[in-house]
Amino acid sequence: MAASTLTGTGATPRSGLGTVVWYDPEITLPDADESVDVEAERDRFADAVDTARAELERERDATAERVGEDEAAIFDAHIQFLEDPTIEEAVVASIEEGRPAAHAVDDAFGVHIEQFEGMEGRMAERADDLRDVRDRLLRLLTGGDRVNLADLPEGSVVLAERLTPSDTAQLDPETVAGFATVTGGRTSHAAIFARSLALPAVVGLGEALNDVSEGTEVVVDGDAGELLVGPDEAEREAARAEEGADVVEESVETSDGREIEVAANVGRPAELEPAAARGADGVGLYRTEFLFLDRQSPPDEDEQYETVRDALDTFPDGRVVVRTLDIGGDKQIPYLDLPEEENPFLGERGIRRSLDPDAELFRTQLRALLRAAADGAGELNVMFPLVATVEELEAAIEAVDDAAADLADRGVDHERPSLGVMVETPSAVFMADEFARRVDFLSIGTNDLTQYVMAADRENERVGDLHDPTHPGVVRAIGRTVEQAHANDAWVGMCGEMAGNPDVTELLVGLGLDELSMSAVTVPDVKVAVSETEYSAARERADSARRVATRSELHETIQ
């Protein structure tokens, strides 16, 4: 048995064995000591600059290879800031006045960061670059080894207070054995990202995680939602030997002949082939905002066109559902200058941003989508996130028509894809009939729908019990949405994390869903669960499930 076992929430049903590497993006400055050895501090600063330069050059080359030359250019800008003579002189002058090097760096960069922050547009973005360079130097000066998430030693298990989606995006599943975090829930975007990378992960382990030290051997058991600290030989062996379910390549139907499409959720081009290899019939949710993370400026129309075309060509006989940009909430993109909000999940998110501050980005994206629809092999469907009103939906449809007219005027080949709406808000559930009359399909996003129906933050493990889509309130909302979609000739899918849980496949099929879309890692299990379901019996059980009063009754009904 392991020396100790911590319990949290499994994010990816996979296990990984490895060695702990702590990731801590926070920097704490040491107390400003009164007596400073000026010469020693000057040398420490010069050494830090040299090391930072070498790191930046390495990262620039790695990024050029992994992502592209354009994205790598940012590191050159950082090197320029690092070598900026005005800043350097200010740091040295401050050290000579008796400030420790770390404080001198903090002060000197602070002045320039403030100046840039006061400027407009692109210049304001430079403040972020300066912050990056300052933090790099501070990490070097305060002795904290800088953990580069993109370049971790083979077999690392990353432990952190929390990881952002862009932190997770940097992890390489070929080398990283898994991650575990103090906070976070199953549907936080870091967890979703982990699942799409098939990266073993457990989130919401609580403060006890802080007692696990760097270098300890651990097993991340994403199935049980546990972190085994100091595993024994049998536990190590079990983690090494783990294999996924057998892939089912063909489309599946229930034992009494109802076909259910089982598709994959993806966020980046690199996830397409693995999704096809795991037997996905198509893509049920392409989270396009993930293409905007981890870079310094948005992808242009051609790059977006290529990306979508790639998806359509990967599934030539399938359907690819691309969701338009869903920025906001926990998906922050520094170069878009998102407002600071008290309640970002109730703020400017999804379609709300696309219709107003990001209208130009939305237009560009729609043009790319319409062009790809004409040229790609598979069938493109486009859906809008976080729609709450008919007015928003109509404005989004109008934007599609405008993009088509614009391309037609310029004689560019394009095609208008089928359109859909995500059902993620209580309002969308109540308005599902109106939405279904205006589009071809609805797709239920249970991650947000559960959060808003239950008033339980999807990121907060303290209300994790409430953020559970098997509460009767959520199940009734799903049942109602499906009914309204079908009554108005729209098909209806589910792309929230609930769709990837084989324990509820029978319930979802019985509720009438036509499509289930999930992280590729669970596609084989759900395909098996669909084939083992008898639709007529599932329907009856689902009808009962829609009438129960408590979660435990619901669990009894669907067992």
Active site residues: 189, 495
E strand or H helix at 263, and its extent?
A: strand 259-266
- Residue 340 is classified by DSSP as P
Query: Minimum CB separation from ligand PEP for residue 413, in Å?
Result: 30
Query: Minimum CB separation from ligand PEP for residue 435, in Å?
Result: 16
> CA–CA separation, 539 vs 164, rounded Å?
39
Q: Which two tokens stand for residue 460?
A: 């907060």
104 touches 95 (CB < 8 A): yes
What residues from 257 to 286 belong to the interface with ligand PEP (CB under 6 A)? 285
Query: Minimum CB separation from Mg ion for residue 285, in Å?
Result: 9
| Position with the least CB separation from ligand PEP | 445
Q: Which amino acid is at 211?
A: D
Q: Is 495 in the site for ligand PEP (CB under 6 A)?
A: yes
Q: Which two tokens stand for residue 375?
A: 């040229």
User: Using CB distances below 5 to 8 A depending on partner kind, what does residue 496 bind out of ligand PEP, Mg ion, none?
Assistant: ligand PEP
R_g of the chain computed on alpha carbons: 25
Nearer to ligand PEP, 226 or 358 (CB): 358
323 touches 285 (CB < 8 A): yes
Of 266, 267, 148, 160, the closest CA to residue 203 belongs to 160
Q: Is 496 in the site for ligand PEP (CB under 6 A)?
A: yes
458 touches 331 (CB < 8 A): no
Question: What torsion, rounded to 10 degrees, do the Cα atoms 49, 50, 54, 59 define?
Answer: 0
Q: Is residue 279 exposed (0-12), middle (13-18) or buried (19+ Cβ within 10 Å)?
A: buried
Asked if residue 458 belongs to a known ligand binding site, the reply is yes
What residues from 321 to 340 belong to the interface with ligand PEP (CB under 6 A)? 326
Phi, psi torsion values for 5, nearest 5 degrees? -130, 125
Size of the site for ligand PEP (CB under 6 A): 11
Nearer to Mg ion, 106 or 424 (CB): 424
The region of 165-173, 357-365, 405-413, 443-451 touching ligand PEP under the rule CB under 6 A is: 443-451
Q: Using the rule CB under 6 A, which residue among 16, 165, 445, 524 binds ligand PEP?
A: 445
String of DSSP letters for 107-155: HHHHHHHHHHHTS-HHHHHHHHHHHHHHHHHHHHHTTPPPP-TTSPPTT
272 touches 314 (CB < 8 A): yes
Q: Is 493 in the site for ligand PEP (CB under 6 A)?
A: no
What residue ranges in 136-214 does DSSP mark as E strands? 156-160, 176-181, 201-203
User: Using CB distances below 5 to 8 A depending on partner kind, what does residue 495 bind out of Mg ion, ligand PEP, none?
Assistant: ligand PEP
Query: Minimum CB separation from ligand PEP for residue 8, in Å?
Result: 19
User: Using CB distances below 5 to 8 A depending on partner kind, what does residue 164 bind out of ligand PEP, Mg ion, none?
Assistant: none
Asked if residue 448 belongs to a known ligand binding site, the reply is yes
| Position with the least CB separation from Mg ion | 448
Asked if residue 287 belongs to a known ligand binding site, the reply is yes
Query: Minimum CB separation from ligand PEP for residue 448, in Å?
Result: 3
261 touches 515 (CB < 8 A): yes
Phi, psi torsion values for 237, nearest 5 degrees? -60, -45
Q: Using the rule CB under 6 A, which residue among 63, 183, 381, 447 binds ligand PEP?
A: 447
Nearer to ligand PEP, 287 or 471 (CB): 287
Of 253, 283, 252, 280, the closest CA to residue 266 belongs to 283
Q: Which two tokens stand for residue 280?
A: 């996905």
What residue ranges in 303-345 does DSSP mark as E strands? 319-323
Q: Using the rule CB under 6 A, which residue among 424, 459, 461, 525 binds ligand PEP?
A: 424
Asked if residue 437 belongs to a known ligand binding site, the reply is no
Query: Minimum CB separation from ligand PEP for residue 407, in Å?
Result: 28
Question: What torsion, rounded to 10 degrees, do the Cα atoms 500, 205, 268, 332 define?
Answer: 120
> Which residues lie near Mg ion (CB under 5 A)?
424, 445, 448
Q: Which two tokens stand for residue 279?
A: 């037997």
Q: Is 364 in the site for ligand PEP (CB under 6 A)?
A: no
217 touches 231 (CB < 8 A): yes
Nearer to ligand PEP, 183 or 447 (CB): 447
User: Using CB distances below 5 to 8 A depending on partner kind, what does residue 287 bind out of ligand PEP, Mg ion, none?
Assistant: ligand PEP
Query: Minimum CB separation from ligand PEP for residue 192, in Å?
Result: 6
Q: Is 94 in the site for ligand PEP (CB under 6 A)?
A: no
Q: Using the rule CB under 6 A, which residue among 164, 288, 446, 505 binds ligand PEP?
A: 446
The region of 144-152, 164-172, 223-231, 446-454 touching ligand PEP under the rule CB under 6 A is: 446-454
User: Using CB distances below 5 to 8 A depending on partner kind, what does residue 103 bind out of ligand PEP, Mg ion, none?
Assistant: none
What residues from 134 to 193 belong to the interface with ligand PEP (CB under 6 A)? 192
Query: Minimum CB separation from ligand PEP for residue 422, in Å?
Result: 7
Q: Which two tokens stand for residue 523?
A: 């596609």
Of 278, 261, 368, the closest CA to residue 319 belongs to 261
If one counts every other C-beta atom within 10 angstroms of the C-beta of residue 367, the result is 21
Asked if residue 476 belongs to a known ligand binding site, the reply is no
Q: Which amino acid is at 389?
A: T
Q: Using the rule CB under 6 A, which residue among 287, 352, 414, 541 binds ligand PEP?
A: 287
Asked if residue 352 belongs to a known ligand binding site, the reply is no
What residues from 192 to 211 belong to the interface with ligand PEP (CB under 6 A)? 192
Nearer to ligand PEP, 445 or 524 (CB): 445
Q: Which residues bind ligand PEP (CB under 6 A)?
A: 192, 285, 287, 326, 424, 445-448, 495-496
Annotated binding site for phosphoenolpyruvate: 287, 323, 447-448, 458
Binding residues for Mg(2+): 424, 448
